[in-house]
Amino acid sequence: MQKIGILNSNIAKVLADLGHTDKICVGDCGLPVPAGTPKIDLALRLGEPKFIEVVKEMAKYMEIQKVYIAPETEKENPEQWKALHEVFPEDAVEWVMLDSHEELKAWEKDCKAVIRTGEITPYSNIILESGVIF
């Protein structure tokens, strides 16, 4: 049994399989997942686990070079926007502002997986792009 790290075997496998520029999405419980894109469903009940808790844990174990986010997050969910900037300071990773939430949803089809949280605040969705550790 694994003692440290992400214990969810599906997430651990996706992270281990990521290569440079591969993407993974973390979203709220309402984010639709395109047919054919693997969904890792962590939602336990409304609000749990929280989106930011999952993102923080992902950031511990994934080399992230870019974060992709929709502008609606900044406007409609400033608390989440602030929390994401604490996890991903702009001097540490590149922030890519997409044109819209609809564009973020279109990008999901290119993700290795979508992790669904129990988050119930609007626009709590992000795409993380893998960097390299060398």
| Positions marked active-site | 20
Q: 40 in helix, strand or coil?
A: strand
Helix intervals (H) in 1-134: 9-17, 51-61, 71-76, 78-87, 101-107
Taking the C-alpha atoms of residue 24 and residue 93, their distance in angstroms, rounded to an integer, is 15
